Structure 1
Amino acid sequence: MILKERPVPIQLLQREALLRRLDTRFYRYKEIEKDLINWKTGYAGEKNTDYYLSYLPEEEFGIINDLRLKNQNTFQMDTILLSLMFGLVLEIKNIVGTLFFDQHTQSVTRIYKDIEEGITNPLIQARRHRNQLLHWMINHRLPPIPLEYLVVISRNSTILKTNPGNEHIFKNIIYAECLEEKINQLAAKYQTPVLKSKSYNKLTQLLLAEHIPSYPEILKMYGIGRTEIVPGVQCPTCKRIPMLRVSATWFCPSCKAYSKDAHFPAVRDYFLLLNEKMTLKQFQEFLLIEKRGVAKGLLHTLHLQVSGSGRTTQYYLPPDCILSPLNENDRKKGDFH
């Protein structure tokens, strides 16, 4: 059973928003494009792994995706599987080329198109996350359970190599298509329940309740000033910015298209990039609405969450809404809550 769905990574959505609202001549534009490709590749690998996990019997395993917890520092796990018998931490990688795991230096080299580069050792990552989760459970006085870890390689075309005599590391590195078989082997290894249903439910509920959403300050990360972010509503047809507010609808002066709901992605971009609550004035300025009364009426139809009152009123989106891609055809008017 999936206890926590895998969201589209906030880091991916933020970079998409950046590329929509930066001048293409911005000096780090190409870097952001490359970073976005990496995030999309990683997410695709995770979704591919989710496909193979879907073959597991729902009544035996609880699946928690993209879980971020805190001991002294925060740590984030791609996927956790939990049963009454054991737990399993997955570190998912979608990497093209050949990976060489060096026994002596504990380093990993990626070789692709005759280019070699060092990458983070995913085995060390997976072990660290497993150990952090164990410490987290101890700190929360939860009953100990056997915790395994695996590095999951989502591409079958990725070649794995290591030094002679070091092949034992591959018991913790598998291809995604082998995941079901590997989990069945672990289930055969751990046949005695170590948790009762009540303890299992307490553990899963606490894990979900203690999840800390990540919300990076993306502008600070790339050294981007607020004034470099292009304001306005983007046309869903030709992608030009801005559209104009005309007679209770949005009109694109470039391609002459009309839209009732084109402001939804603009509002989401504001929260993704600026990482703060929105006032009526900021809403009016970011969407380039001339009349305050028009902006006020439109803002109230969004049903955003509110704090403060009067002139101090601020509006914001809950994180689960921000993390969901917006599709104009799928969302009803004002359905932002």
Structure 2
Amino acid sequence: MILNERPIPIPLLQREALLRRLPKTHSRYHDIEKELINWKTGYSGEKNVDYYLSYLPDDQYRIMNDLRLKNKNTFQIDTLIMSQIFGLVLEIKNITGTLFFDQNTNGVIRRYKEIEEGISNPLTQAKRHRSQLMQWNLAHKLKPIPIEYLVVFSRNSTILKTNPGNEHIFKHMIYAENLEEKVAQISEKYQNPLLKGRALTQACDYLLSQRIPSYPDILKTYSIPKSDIRPGVPCPKCQALPMIRVSAAWYCSICKTYSKNAHLIAVKDFFLLMNVPLTVRDFQGFLIIEQRGVAKYLLHTLHLPADGNSKRAAQYFLPPDCILSLF
């Protein structure tokens, strides 16, 4: 049973927002474009694995995606599978080419189109996340259960190699289509159900309740000043900036499109990029709205969570689910 759908990663959305609001001539534009492709590739691989996860028996397994928790430092598990008898940490990779796992250096070399590069060792990542989860469970006084780990490659075309005699590492690496069979094999190792009755549901509910959202300061990441970010409402059809507020709609002078709700993406862009709460003044300036009364009305229709105790101007926040509502 999948307990939470895999969200689109915030860093992916942030890079999309940056590309909407930076001129193509900007010095960091192509760096952002390249990294956005990497994020989309990774997310596509995770979604592919979700398809195979859906085949696991609902009555035996609970599946949690994008689980970000904190010990001394935060750690993020791509997918955690829980049952009454064991847990399984999945590190999901969508990598093209050949990966060579070097026994001598514990490093990984990726070969693709005659180019070699060193990449992070996904086995090391999976083991580290397993260890961090076990420490987190102990600190939060959850009943200890065996925790396994796997690296799951979403592409069957990814070729895996290692030194002679080091092939045992492959027992912790699989292709996505073999996930159901591998989980069944792991299950056969354990016989004693430790999370009986409602204990499994309660443990999963607690894990999900302790997730920590992540909003990286993306402008700081790329050393981009806020003044470089172009304000305005982007056209939903041609992406031109800015649309013009005409009566009760937004109008694009480039492709002649009208839209009632085009401002929603602008509000999301503000939260994704600026990393601060939203005020009426910010809303009016970022969306380029001439009349403050119109800005206040539109902001009110979004029903955003607000800080009502502040003596300063009211501050608005994006809902945890990142969904904006007009009703």
TM-score range, shorter chain: over 0.9
State the percentage of identical aligned residues: 65
One-letter code aligned to 2:137:
M
Asked if 1:37 corresponds to 2:37, the answer is yes
Q: Report deviation, 1:202.
A: 2.7
Deviations 1:209-265 (A, max 9, x none): 111111100000000111100000011111100010011111111111111110000
Query: What do residues 14-36 of structure 1 show as CA deviations (whole Å, max 9, x unaligned)?
Result: 00000000011111110000000
2:218 counterpart residue number: 218
The 3-state SS of whatever aligns with 1:320 is: coil
Matching of residue 184 in structure 1 with residue 176 in structure 2: no
How many Å separate the matches in 1 of 2:239 and 2:137?
48
| Aligned position for 1:271 | 271
Which position in structure 2 is the counterpart of 1:320? 321
2-structure distance, mates of 1:48, 1:184: 20
Partner residue, 2:201: 201
Give structure 1 regions of 4+ aligned residues with deviation exceeding 2 angstroms.
308-311
Residues 285-327 of structure 1, C-alpha deviation per residue, up to 9 Å, x if partnerless? 00000111111111111111111367521111123116xxx8x
Q: How many residues align?
A: 326
Residue of structure 1 in register with 2:245 after alignment: 245
Query: In terms of mean alpha carbon deviation, does 44-53 or 140-149 score higher?
Result: 140-149
Match of 1:25 in 2: 25
By how many angstroms is 1:199 displaced?
A: 2.5
Give the secondary structure class of the aligned counterpart of 1:100.
strand
| 2:312 pairs with 1:334 | no
**Which residues of structure 2 form unaligned runs of 5+?**
none
CA distance in 2, matches of 1:257, 1:53: 41
Q: Which moved more, 1:245-254 or 1:202-211?
A: 202-211
Report the CA distance between 1:191 and its aligned residue: 2.7
- Write out per-residue CA displacement over residues 160-189 of structure 1, whole angstroms, 9 at most, x where no aligned residue: 000111111000000001111101111222
Q: Distance in 2 between matches of 1:197 and 1:20?
A: 50
1:330 is matched with which residue? Answer: none
Match of 1:233 in 2: 233
TM-score after normalising by structure 2: 0.97
Aligned position for 2:150: 150
- For 1:233 and 1:142, the matched residues in 2 are separated by 47
Mapped to 2, the partners of 1:88 and 1:52 lie a distance apart of 15
Matched residues in 1 for 2:29 and 2:299: separation?
31
What is the RMSD computed on CA atoms of the aligned residues?
1.3
Q: Distance in 1 between matches of 2:321 and 2:189?
A: 37
C-alpha separation in 2, matches of 1:210 and 1:297: 35
Match of 2:260 in 1: 260
Please give the alpha-carbon distance, in whole angstroms, between the structure 1 residues aligned to 2:146 and 2:79: 16
Aligned position for 2:127: 127
Aligned to 1:329: none
| Match in the other structure for 2:112 | 112
Q: Deviations over 1:10-64 (max 9, x none)?
A: 0000000000000111111100000000000000000000000101111110000
Secondary structure of the 2:152 match is: strand
**What TM-score does the superposition give when structure 1 sets the normalisation length?**
0.94
Q: Distance in 1 between the 2:312 and 2:214 partners?
A: 30
Which residue pairs with 2:49 in the alignment? 49
Deviations 1:190-220 (A, max 9, x none): 2321221232223212211111111100000
Which residue identity lines up with residue 319 of structure 2 in the other structure? P
Distance 1:244 1:195 in 2: 58
What is the rounded CA distance, in whole Å, between the counterparts of 2:185 and 2:312 in structure 1?
62
1:13 maps to 2:5: no
